Structure 1
Amino acid sequence: MSDEVFHDVAYKAKDHKDLLSGIDEFLDQVTVLPPGEWDPSIRIEPPKSVPSQEKRKMPSMPNGTPPLLEPAQEGHVAGPELQRTGRLFGGLVRDVKRKVPWYLSDFRDALSLQCVASFLFLYCACMSPVITFGGLLGEATDDNISAIESLIGASMTGLVYSLFSGQPLTILGSTGPVLVFEKILYKICIQYGLSYLSLRSCIGLWTSVLCLGLVATDASSLVCYITRFTEEAFASLICLIFIYESLEKLVHLGKKYPINMNLQIDQLKNLSCVCVPPMNLSNETFLPSSENNVSVDTTQLSGYDPGNMTIWENATVSECLKSHGKFVGTGCMTHYPYVPDVLFWSVILFFATFFLSTFFKNFKTLHYFPTKVRSSISDFAVFLAILCMISIDYALGIPSPKLHVPNVFKPTRDDRSWLVNPVGSNPWWTVLAAIFPSLICTILIFMDQQITAVIINRKEHKLKKGCGYHLDLFWVAVMLGICSIMGLPWFVAATVLSISHVNSLKVESECSAPGEQPKFLGILEQRFTGFMIFLLMGCSVFLTKALQFIPMPVLYGVFLYMGVSSLKGIQFFDRLKLFAMPAKHQPDFIYLRHVPLRKVHLFTLIQLLCLALLWAIKTTRAAIVFPMMVLALVFVRKLMDRCFSKRELSWLDDLIPESKKKKIEDEQRKQEEEQQAAKRMLEVAEVGTVQVPLEGGNILKIPVRSIKYSSEDPSVINISEEMAKTAVWRALSGNAANAHIVPDVQKESASDACSV
């Protein structure tokens, strides 16, 4: 590192090739004593003057000017999958033709242990949201659609989508705006005395038809206007919601299993909690069970007698809850008997699952065990964390809340079937009136589906099999219509689940040089993982005995892990860190090379403001207009042209991956340096001589053409080496103090590596 040239090369090197080139150049220039015995009496006198190192900084060049490489196109240019065809279903036909050649490989490429780890992780991650969404939907619709319908709908839609879609890496799930839409629709039906399932079926069918119309007209090509600004705001919002809701569910457990703050050790023997009948007692008091979504009555109590208090006092907790009973006593909390340690144990399970998943995921970077073992542990990170926490929970025996899966394959309500009449008991005009709410629903489905698809199809994922925006929307529309006829929930692309799916299938180089980071090679593009996730989900009705051992806090910890891990790689959060980071410690982000820091902060603040607005809408009753607000971000981005130049926006909001941008810029800089070096060498060639000043004041002029060059490569001439071979140069080498080129090119002398 004491060598000036190699010191600069080492600090400016972009990859190992630059570093190796610097080492080779140093070894070429350094004076090395040959091996052998050394006579101490022999002394090497220091040179009279140290040769200039400037010539070593010049890159080697062949004769003439090298041809200029075509600069890589920057900016967002729509690929063939987003170009309008001008024909009905032209984009859909193109997507099918693009995906058919890859169909068999979509299953052959799944022959990997990493795919098994991926679908086991995503199965556990998808189960809880589907069942929770079904439970919330059951509360909002009086059990017209509940957990079992949600489970079957997710399984059926996911299987079809994973087999025939254009991008099988996308995972379908439930969304918040859909739930808000269902709540509003049910209230309207109750208010006007309409059949909820029939009207919902009409709206779903119209939405399906409108989505098919968007497919026919190649409307998916409009996603080319969704830039990094919009997609990062949307993805950040969904990730933050996952993190927030996982913590919120943990806090909610504190209400169901509170801490007894008034507990006194001396009064432990006096604690009691008994079940008492409700105020308005009748022989048939129905209460929907929160565990298995069925309704039971008080006559289920063995030996039931409304006037017999002993029966109520001896009832179990589940029997008391099913019969509208209440818990009374010093050992009772708000609505349930006091159960010690549950809340604290749930907190431990929650954070232990998150940290254990993170630790296992980073296990491949450790120095223990062989490479294959480390890679396998990293691939099965989340699944291993879930197994560990389930085992510990089972061993300790603390009654933590568990996952409850419906165990009966039939509709939740007995007064409905698996097929819904679109008209039913409603007036005929409701079929036509359903067009208006279906417009809102269509925008909701289109925006959720396509923004997630844009995020999954990012260039930095290095997908090789192409995508299919039109084909994806086609199957979402078809399954939406089928689910409407069957009275099942609607499902669309889920952002965080899809990002987690892609992250779990990343492929990196297996071997690398010591100290070198593994290279990202791409994604395992296949259909097996999505197919198995939703196949197991459909079979979960028959796996209730095994699934009942999974603690809910463990699944909440998985949600937290997915939300946090999905934030990695989002440029918006990298720019947020710059607010508290001194300039000298800022990373070498490509946009910091070309955009002033104040403009970067302004761009980040605008994006942060839009994110806060989306959060405010998403978490309120106005969530139904959320897709329209996401669409409004496209227009906000258009207005930003007034505050930023096109050049600044091309660096801050471009869809080209940052790593690729850096590579392009480094290549362009290298080309410019080579062009300048070639220009200087051509100037020397035009003058025709190299002048060498002698001690006596005389000047030796050597014609450049008289310098011999190596016959190995006649296109390359190294002036310094060839001059050193001439007899004239050897005769004058002891007298010459230094050498320089003619005055007009004196400032930029040719290097040892430069060539004409």
Structure 2
Amino acid sequence: MLRDVSPAAERIRFILGEDDDSPAPPQLFTELDELLSVDGQEMEWKETARWLKFEEKVEQGGERWSKPHVATLSLHSLFELRTCIEKGTILLDLEANSLPQVVEKILDNQIETGLLKAELKDKVTYTLLRKHRHQTKKSNLRSLADIGKTVSSASRMFTSPDNGSPTMSPRNLTSSSLNDISDKPDKDQLKNKFMKKIPRDAEASNVLVGEVDFLETPFIAFVRLQQAVMFGALTEVPVPTRFLFILLGPKGKAKSYHEIGRSIATLMSDEVFHDIAYKAKDRQDLIAGIDEFLDEVIVLPPGEWDPAIRIEPPKSIPSSDKRKNMYAGGENVQMNGDTLHDEGHGGGGHGDCPELKRTGRFCGGLVEDIKRKAPYFASDFYDALSIQSLSAMLFIYLGTVTNAITFGGLLGDATENMQGVLESFLGTAISGAVFCLLAGQPLIILSSTGPVLVFERLLFNFSRDNGFDYLEFRLWIGLWSAFLCLVLVATDASSLVKYFTRFTEEGFACLISFIFIYDAFKKMIKFADYYPINTHFKVGDVTLFSCTCLPPDPANISLFNGTTESPLDFFSTTIDMDMDHNNTINWSTLTKKECLKYGGNLVGNNCKYIPDITLMSFILFFGTYACSMALKKFKTSRYFPTTARKLISDFAIILSILIFCGIDALVGVDTPKLLVPSEFKPTSPHRGWFVPPFGGNPWWVYLAASLPALLVTILIFMDQQITAVIVNRKEHKLKKGAGYHLDLFWVAVLMIVCSFMALPWYVAATVISIAHIDSLKMETETSAPGEQPKFLGVREQRVTGVMVFILTGVSVFMAPILKFIPMPVLYGVFLYMGVASLNGVQFMDRLKLLLMPAKHQPDFIYLRHVPLRRVHLFTFIQILCLALLWILKSTVAAIIFPVMILALVAVRKAMDYLFSQHDLGFLDDVIPEKDKKKKEDEKKKKKKKGSVDSDNEDSDTPYSEKVPSIKIPMDIMEKEPFLSDSKPSDREKPFTFLERHTSC
């Protein structure tokens, strides 16, 4: 059932629902100035508060601003404000170029309408044009009053000795000479650092309230100028003024005037009333805006809350789009205030993504991807002009180099160096650079994956056991797999990605993240095995330990003479191999490595002593991780200016690496370092840089290679497209579109190149790609005090990816520099990438809920709509699937890992029979159906038939049509306490003051 709509709501719907070509109203900076006596001298307009989004007050000491806080208003002051707008002067679209001109027109209007006596005009003018003292200026700054002796004496002439308020009309003096009103900002305004918080196109709203002794009734005016005008020093910052609200009243009610001023200032900072103020055509439109604000306002009992407590701004501000959309049309607003297919509720998965629409034409999807990405190709280069791009490039480069070395080493062990570290470097450089330069989504980072390594190991063993040429067999598998990928591109098979819901994406992403974390610790534990900790070592027994190198036994001399390497590398003296080595070599001066190399014997109980390399390695490992996390979050800390915090946050990983490289060099412990190949040649001398396609295997092997190629194709397709889906998520706010078909096309082409050159195969790397996205996230440069910076999107460009892989390729020539980087530091970066990629994953949030009592659980949207036991059941199913995938990848059966990832889609489909579509809509994405669009259109048509008055989203009480709504007629507010000393008695109050209205 739908509720009835009040006349005010209908009026606002008409105001905000009008279709015009005018741009969106600019943001407002609102300043509250009060008429006060400064330092016991003449009255001046003193700035007491300001609003950009939240309220900031001048503290009682007058030396500083308060912290931004949510403005808390009294309900009575809002009603008084409504009466002010109803009874005062309203001038909309007033044409004026200066403040004196605005004041003149306001006073003329008030005199014409009988609201002000003509003899008070000069006094009001004099008062309104008094000088303004802003918080940025020192209280004893003499230049504020540096108007001349004539003005000072004239001011004292018209000032009452008792209270300092104007009592006589100023004669022979203009307002400009009294108050130095000009249309140019002064020096203090131009130097104000607060301008950094204000958007460039912002306008000002000035609120002037105060009490004087020459008025018997309040002087009220609300003015909207036709064009925003710079009123000089009227405003704290050099921002043109669009709105003016003036309230001058009799003595004795300064507190009431102050609260009314705060009320109108808070209203002007409200996004809905802000739009109404810009579009209002008459007084009734403004009153309707206040009524709408009163409908949304929350009242707190006076005995249960202290109004002096300042409410901190929330970390996430609720969007006003719901209120605006309700008045702009309402077809997409449901009774609980949620929009249809809200992104936060799962919505329709990826079914509405234009990149995944099936064209039905040969290579139709590929052609559409090229058409979509071509217009952005040039901008993909100049959009990278930012210091943030440099930090992202260095961060991803170090992660990519570490991954290439690790994978190359494992691949060399698995293939007897037929593919090794150098091949890993070269393949990474070629594949990554070409992909980032020409692919549809250049933010994706290519790398080798675990399933590929397992496949290479099994293929090498199979080829060796059966006498096949491994590289030639691998070449044909690569060619067949590339051909199958091209077939998938031509047939728009990437459109199947829309069936990858959050369930599948999170399962895959979490698994890869856990692998990164597990591998980081696994590498560190291997250090502990290779460099054991010296347990039970006592410092006092150090004199009992020794180790000496003795000459080799005579029986081993023949072995020594047979060595192919001369000791000339270590000694300056010439050694004759036929001479007695005991006479030519000083064995006591040899190092442990040299002693063993030349056949010497190590004697002593200290020869197996190893310094605390393991402990130092773990310090570097955890230190790099903790420092990276801390510096990344430094942007939200309270220390240093905003620019410095942002810069430190952007370079968090690089700074962490440099810090702990410095610590390692300072301590001097021989920790394992990054070893990069220094020569450009194949790892194995039995191979070259090109694999001939024929001659090494029987002809039938070329056809049989299509069978394992099918498995590789599934592996490539699943890894590539799931990573692409995660990168292209809506929450990343990518504006240049995706290119699923184009991405797969270049992966297939590069697979051909890598197969002919005997380089590893490359596919999208989930964790490194997510790290790339996180390092390029953009936020608003100007945010209101107290408001968290808004996420704008990701810096979409190709430069960082291309440069990362170019640097990877030339790393062979940077070996003398890279050898100073400890491996534990890079493993700490691996740990950071694995943990950071889990941030924002709903599965991790639900995993934490298993350990939380219900009363301490966060206010997640799905917990409001889905029973907790159903949430836990959904989480347990994901845990079970993740555990099975982990067990599978840890065994020889890891070769079918991609097929099991595909099985997650089937598991998700089967969950439709276990969970309702309502529950899945909040816990996961709803799998798109053929008639989905038709159902959506039917829902929209039903919504268009009626109007919706949205409930508050946080309401715990479901809507019931039997609940009556209480409406307070505003015509009883004609007499307000601040307007008159008399109050209506109980007999005078209308009997229908709380008349009940039934909602239908």
TM range (shorter): 0.7 to 0.9
1:217 match: 491
Q: Partner of 1:511 in structure 2? A: 782
Q: In the alignment, is the contact (CA less than 8 A) between 1:228 and 1:655 conserved in 2?
A: no
**Aligned residue in 2 for 1:416:** 687
Give 1:623's aligned amino acid. Answer: A
Q: Residue 708 of structure 2: SS of its match in structure 1?
A: helix
Residue 439 of structure 1 corresponds to 710
Cα distance between partner residues in 1 of 2:495 and 2:627? 42
Structure 1: state its 5+ residue gaps.
1-14, 45-53, 286-295, 657-663, 685-689, 691-717, 750-756
Which residues of 2 match residues 276-287 of structure 1 at below 5 A? none
Q: Distance in 1 between matches of 2:670 and 2:740?
A: 46
Match of 2:950 in 1: 672
Is 1:276–1:328's contact at 8 Å kept on the other side of the alignment? no
Q: Residues 562, 283 of structure 1: CA spacing in aligned structure 2 closer, same or farther, 3 A cutoff?
A: farther
Counterpart among 602, 617, 620 of residue 349 in structure 1: 620
Q: What does 1:236-635 align with in structure 2 at a 5 Å threshold?
A: 236-261=510-535, 263=537, 265-266=540-541, 268-272=543-547, 298-302=564-568, 330-333=605-608, 338-635=609-906
Q: Does 1:201 align with 2:475?
A: yes
User: In the TM superposition, what is the alpha-carbon distance from 1:279 to its structure 2 partner?
Assistant: 14
Amino acid at match of 2:950: E
Q: Check 1:328–1:479 CA distance in 2 against 1; reply closer, same or farther (3 A cut).
A: farther
1:735 is aligned to 987
What letter matches 2:988 in structure 1? A
Equivalent pair of 1:276/1:327 in contact (CA under 8 Å) = no
CA shift in 2, pair 1:284/1:479, >3 Å: farther
The answer as to whether partners of 2:379 and 2:797 remain within 8 angstroms in 1 is: yes
Looking at structure 1, the residues matched to 405 and 824 of structure 2 have their Cα atoms a distance apart, in angstroms, of 15
State whether residues 616 and 671 of structure 2, in contact with CA within 8 Å, keep that contact through their aligned partners in structure 1: yes
**TM-superposed deviation, 1:309:** 8.0
Verify the 8 A CA contact 2:622 2:828 in the aligned structure 1: yes
- State, as a whole percentage, how many aligned pairs show the same letter: 50
Q: Deviation at 1:612?
A: 1.0
Look up the match of 1:715.
none
Q: Measure the CA separation in 2 of the matches of 1:273 and 1:527.
A: 58
Q: Structure 1 pair 103/35, CA: closer, same or farther in 2 (3 Å)?
A: same
Q: Are 1:364 and 1:378, in contact at CA under 8 Å, matched by a contact in 2?
A: yes
1-structure distance, mates of 2:599, 2:898: 41
Letter in 2 for 1:28: L
| CA 39–470 in structure 1, closer or farther in 2 if over 3 Å, else same | closer
- Contact 1:197–1:420 (Cα < 8 Å) also in 2: yes
Alignment of 1:182-193 (within 5 A): 182-193=456-467
Report the 3-state secondary structure (helix = DSSP H, G, I; strand = E; otherwise coil) of the residue aligned with 1:671.
Answer: coil
Does the C-alpha gap of structure 1 residues 259 and 650 become closer, same or farther in structure 2, counting only changes over 3 Å? same
1:604/1:26 CA distance change after superposition, 3 Å: farther
Q: Could you say which residue in structure 2 is the equivalent of 1:29? A: 79
Q: 1:639 to 1:307 in 2, by over 3 A?
A: farther
Superposition TM-score, scaled by structure 1 size: 0.79
Q: Secondary structure at the match of 2:950?
A: helix
Paired residues of 1:232 and 1:572 also in contact (CA < 8 A): yes
**Residues 460 and 330 from structure 1, CA distance in 2 versus in 1: closer, same or farther, beyond 3 angstroms?**
same
CA shift digits 1:126-151 (9 cap, x unpaired): 11110111111111111111001110
* In structure 2, distance between residues paired with 1:146 and 1:383: 27
Task: Confirm or deny: 8 A CA contact 2:556 2:599 kept in the other structure.
Answer: no
Matches within 5 A, 1:655-666: none
Judge which range, 265-274 or 341-350, deviates more: 265-274
The 10-residue stretch of structure 1 (615-624 or 399-408) with the greater mean CA deviation from structure 2: 615-624
Q: Which has the higher contact order (CA 8 A, sep 6+)?
A: 1
Q: How does 1:161-200 map to 2 (within 5 A)?
A: 161-200=435-474
Shift of the 376–632 alpha-carbon distance from structure 1 to 2, 3 Å rule, reads same
CA distance in 1, matches of 2:871, 2:579: 74
> Match of 2:503, as an amino acid?
F
SS of match in other structure, 1:507: strand
- Kindly state the Cα deviation for residue 331 of structure 1 after the two structures are TM-superposed: 2.6
Change in 2 beyond 3 A, CA 1:330/1:731 = closer
CA distance in 2, matches of 1:453, 1:461: 12
| Partner Cα separation in structure 1 for residue 550 and residue 414 of structure 2 | 28
Structure 2 CA distance for aligned equivalents of residues 441 and 282 of structure 1: 54
CA offset at residue 362 of structure 1?
Answer: 1.5
Quote the offset at 1:621 in angstroms.
2.1
Cα distance in 2 for residues equivalent to 1:627 and 1:486: 25
For the structure 1 residues 307 and 741, does the alpha-carbon distance in structure 2 shift closer, same or farther, using more than 3 Å as the test? Answer: farther
Bigger radius of gyration: 2
Give CA deviations for 1:138-172 in whole Å, capped at 9, x if unaligned.
Answer: 11111111001110000010110010011111111
Comparing 352-361 and 595-604, the one that deviates more:
352-361
Matched position secondary structure for 2:505: helix
Deviation at 1:514, TM superposition (A): 2.7
Conserved in 1, the CA contact under 8 Å of 2:356 and 2:494?
yes
Per-residue Cα deviation, 1:184-241 (whole angstroms, up to 9, x for no partner):
1111111111111111111111111111111111111111111001110111111111
1:453/1:244 Cα in 2 relative to 1: closer, same or farther (>3 Å)? same
* Post-superposition offset of 1:268: 4.1
- Structure 1 residue 339: deviation in Å? 2.8
Query: 1:275 & 1:591 partners in 2: Cα distance?
Result: 73
SS at 1:672 equivalent: coil
Mean CA deviation greater in 542-551 or 613-622: 613-622
SS in 2 for 1:118: helix
Residue identity opposite 2:909 in structure 1 = K
Q: 1:69 corresponds to which residue?
A: 331
**Which residue of 466, 478, 503 maps to 1:229?**
503
Q: Give me the whole-angstrom Cα distance separating, in 2, the residues matched to 1:324 and 1:498.
A: 50
Q: Quick one: which of 410, 418, 432 aligns to 1:144?
A: 418
Other structure's SS at 2:850 match: helix
Q: How well do the aligned residues superpose, as a CA RMSD in angstroms?
A: 4.0
Distance 2:701 2:557 in 1: 40
Which stretch of structure 1 is more off in the superposition, 631-640 or 254-263?
A: 254-263
3-state SS in 1 of match to 2:772: helix
**SS of equivalent to 2:741:** helix
Paired letter, 1:360: L
The aligned counterpart of 1:121 is 395
Q: Tell me how far apart the structure 1 counterparts of residues 414 and 600 of structure 2 sit (CA, whole Å).
A: 23
> In structure 2, do the counterparts of structure 1 residues 518 and 424 end up closer, same or farther at CA, with 3 Å as the change threshold?
same
In structure 1, distance between residues paired with 2:763 and 2:548: 46
Change in Cα spacing, 1:98 to 1:324, as seen in structure 2 (3 Å) is farther
TM-superposed CA distance for 1:56, in Å, is 9.3
Unaligned ranges ≥5, structure 2: 1-52, 56-68, 85-208, 214-249, 257-290, 298-322, 334-339, 342-346, 569-574, 928-939, 941-945, 953-957, 977-981
